């Protein structure tokens, strides 16, 4: 290997930013008690990070091509570390959500520059090896997040899930400055600031509207206004992209069914597979009495299965068409989510295991192949744009998935409990309700019913999306098999130049 320092520096940053997508999940109940957070607050603790990451990923990649990829990467790590410190020191939910959004800004700068920096240093077999290590680290970060989050939350406390980023960030910055050479994109590029801003307003407006629907109803003025703002923003985005010289997204790609199908699959995958996990964590800890560590360990059937299948897919299914790996994987994810919708007042976490296993198998098919499917669906000169777009829609899908599940859960709870009690229960306040005289059986039955409803909605969405992917992505077109979730070797620098 030409330089382990470069690979180590990039992998440290990648590990941190992807770990922070999932590490907060098992800490949500403790945050509720410490910060007196509501369900809406908890949703934004998760979504604030994912939304900022999704909204700025493409723009950050374009800026890095101009300003220098190493420079933008280092700025991203520093910003991420500062935001992590603010997260750990937050004294109320609003400050925590703002700091999480700032984390997402730093994460976007880091994520947008990882593969271009690796592509500028490593060539040939070394590049393949580097991408394999990077892909393994990426998958491992998401897998260990809930377990590590549980250990830290149960030990020094939830604030330390953010403080641990500080020493890692120092090492990452030092290694990056010492071992990673500067690189830039082609001359004459420009940043589509108008497109970046309008897309951010669309993503934030749509997610906020869904969250408000859960609190105020779908026809409430705040909900309708937010949907209107999101609709206006997406129209502005489309108009901007038609006129700028270097758009974030070439809208002509939307005339390619395979590209549309792949983006739909990537969007649905993250929302369906992972959107319910924060609420399952709340259920297990506040109503089943599980510790944060045990709550994190319950996800191992899904994460271990996904990693095993991903390795097998990378080794054994090279050249299998994307309509089968992405579409078929989504069908498994949807079916597995539906299998989880069997909860009752007397259920424990083992009722989720069959569904978790199916979701893990489906994830193992989709995660390593969806980026390659995106690249295969566009001309070579648009590889960077497609690579950035697939990462963007995955994060946006996760943010909206969390919001939709929370809204459906709250809606089902308000049909069985007083509105205030329903919101408190969904936000992790079961302990206070029990002390207030609510029967434990009633609370467990209500929460299980709400989860079942949300899991049915997301599971059906996964099945529909899987069917659409199979119909839209042209059968028989082979998809390059990346190494453990990494982008294909053919164009790693281009594939991530914008994400």
| Residue that is last in its domain, among 205, 222, 243 | 243
Instruction: Tell me what percent of the residues of the chain surpass a pLDDT of 90.
Output: 50
Give 27's DSSP letter.
G
Domain co-membership, 73 together with 220 = no
Domain co-membership, 236 together with 273 = no
Domain co-membership, 280 together with 227 = no
Average pLDDT over residues 237-260: 91
Residue-wise pLDDT for 169-224, tens only, equals: 999 999 999 988 888 867 767 788 899 899 999 999 999 999 888 888 889 999 99
In this predicted structure, the answer to whether residue 167 has a pLDDT above a threshold of 50 is yes
**165 close to 80: Cβ distance less than 8 angstroms:** yes
Please tell me the predicted confidence (pLDDT) of residue 187.
73
Domain co-membership, 257 together with 334 = yes
Residue-wise pLDDT for 68-95, tens only, equals: 989 999 999 999 999 999 999 999 999 9
Domain co-membership, 303 together with 394 = yes
Domain CATH for 78: 1.20.1250.20
Domain co-membership, 214 together with 311 = no
Please tell me the predicted confidence (pLDDT) of residue 475.
60
- Sequential DSSP letters for 439-473: -HHHHHHHHHHHHHHHHHHHHHHHHHHHHHHHHHS
Please tell me the predicted confidence (pLDDT) of residue 318.
67
Average pLDDT over residues 295-307: 89
Q: Tell me the pLDDT of the chain averaged across its residues.
A: 87
Average pLDDT over residues 216-243: 93
In this predicted structure, the answer to whether residue 37 has a pLDDT above a threshold of 90 is no
Please tell me the predicted confidence (pLDDT) of residue 321.
83
Q: pTM for the complete prediction?
A: 0.87
Look up tokens 């690579």; give the residue: 387
Please tell me the predicted confidence (pLDDT) of residue 104.
94
Please tell me the predicted confidence (pLDDT) of residue 180.
87
- Cα-to-chain-centroid distance, residue 476: 29
Residue-wise pLDDT for 315-361, tens only, equals: 776 677 888 889 999 999 999 999 999 999 999 999 999 999 999 99
Domain co-membership, 393 together with 451 = yes
Domain co-membership, 482 together with 441 = yes
Residue-wise pLDDT for 431-453, tens only, equals: 889 988 899 999 999 999 999 99
Domain count of the chain?
A: 2
Please tell me the predicted confidence (pLDDT) of residue 378.
86
Domain co-membership, 302 together with 435 = yes
Domain co-membership, 200 together with 325 = no
DSSP E strands in 145-251: the ranges are none
Domain range for 87: 4-192+244-495
| Residue that is last in its domain, among 211, 243, 275 | 243
Residue-wise pLDDT for 89-127, tens only, equals: 999 999 999 999 999 999 999 988 887 888 788 877 777
Domain co-membership, 233 together with 188 = no
Q: CA-to-CA distance for 366 and 142, rounded, in angstroms?
A: 15
Specify whether the backbone of 3 is left (phi greater than 0), alpha (psi in -120 to 50) or beta.
Answer: beta
Residues in the chain: 499
Q: CA-to-CA distance for 53 and 396, rounded, in angstroms?
A: 9
Residue-wise pLDDT for 369-387, tens only, equals: 888 788 888 887 787 788 7
Q: From 260, 278, 256, 479, select the one nearest 365 (Cα to Cα).
A: 479
Domain co-membership, 76 together with 176 = yes
- Residue 381, C-beta contacts closer than 8 angstroms, at least 6 positions apart: none
DSSP E strands in 191-246: the ranges are none
| Residue that is last in its domain, among 212, 228, 243 | 243
Element (H, E) at 488: none
Res. 168 pLDDT band, cuts 50 70 90: very high
Q: CA-to-CA distance for 447 and 423, rounded, in angstroms?
A: 11
């Amino acid at each position: 290997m030409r330089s382990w320092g470069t690979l180590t520096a990039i992998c440290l940053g990648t590990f941190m930013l992807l770990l922070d997508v999932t590490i907060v999940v098992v800490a949500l109940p403790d945050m509720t008690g410490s910060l007196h957070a509501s369900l809406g607050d908890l949703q934004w603790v998760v979504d604030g990070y994912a939304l900022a990451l999704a909204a700025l990923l493409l723009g950050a990649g374009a800026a890095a091509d101009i300003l220098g990829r190493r420079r933008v990467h280092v700025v991203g790590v520093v910003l991420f570390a500062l935001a992590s410190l603010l997260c750990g020191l937050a004294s109320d939910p609003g400050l925590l959500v703002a700091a999480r959004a700032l984390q997402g800004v730093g994460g976007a700068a880091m994520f947008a520059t990882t593969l271009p920096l690796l592509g500028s240093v490593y060539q040939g077999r070394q590049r393949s090896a580097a991408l394999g290590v990077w892909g393994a680290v990426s998958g491992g970060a998401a897998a260990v997040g809930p377990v590590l989050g549980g250990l830290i939350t149960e030990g020094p406390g939830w604030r330390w899930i953010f403080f641990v980023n500080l020493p890692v960030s120092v090492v990452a910055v030092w290694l990056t400055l010492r071992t990673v050479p500067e690189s830039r994109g082609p001359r004459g590029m420009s940043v589509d600031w108008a497109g970046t801003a309008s897309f951010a307003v669309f993503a934030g407006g749509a997610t906020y509207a869904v969250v408000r629907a859960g609190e105020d109803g779908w026809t409430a003025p705040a909900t309708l206004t937010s949907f209107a703002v999101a609709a206006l923003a997406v129209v502005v985005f489309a108009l901007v992209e038609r006129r700028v010289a270097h758009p974030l997204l070439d809208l002509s790609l939307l005339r390619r069914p395979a590209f549309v199908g792949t983006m739909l699959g990537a969007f649905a995958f993250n929302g369906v597979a992972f959107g319910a996990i924060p609420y399952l964590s709340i259920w297990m800890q506040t109503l089943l009495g599980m510790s944060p560590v045990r709550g994190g360990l319950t996800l191992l059937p899904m994460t271990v299965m996904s990693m095993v299948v991903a390795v097998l897919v990378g080794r054994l299914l090279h050249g299998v068409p994307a309509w089968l790996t992405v579409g078929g994987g989504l069908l498994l994810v949807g079916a597995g989510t539906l299998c989880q919708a069997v909860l009752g007042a007397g259920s424990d976490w083992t009722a989720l295991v069959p569904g978790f296993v199916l979701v893990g198998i489906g994830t193992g098919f989709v995660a390593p192949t969806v980026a390659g499917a995106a690249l295969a669906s566009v001309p070579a000169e648009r590889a960077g744009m497609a690579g950035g777009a697939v990462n963007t829609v995955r994060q946006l899908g996760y943010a909206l998935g969390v919001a939709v599940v929370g809204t459906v859960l709250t809606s089902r709870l308000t049909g069985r409990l007083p509105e205030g009690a329903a919101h408190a229960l969904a936000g992790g306040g079961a302990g206070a309700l029990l002390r207030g005289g609510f029967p434990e059986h009633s609370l467990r039955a209500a929460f299980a019913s709400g989860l079942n409803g949300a899991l049915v909605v997301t599971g059906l969405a996964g099945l529909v999306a899987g069917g659409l992917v199979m119909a839209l992505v042209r059968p028989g077109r082979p998809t390059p098999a990346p190494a453990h979730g990494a982008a294909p070797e053919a164009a790693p620098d281009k594939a991530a130049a914008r994400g």
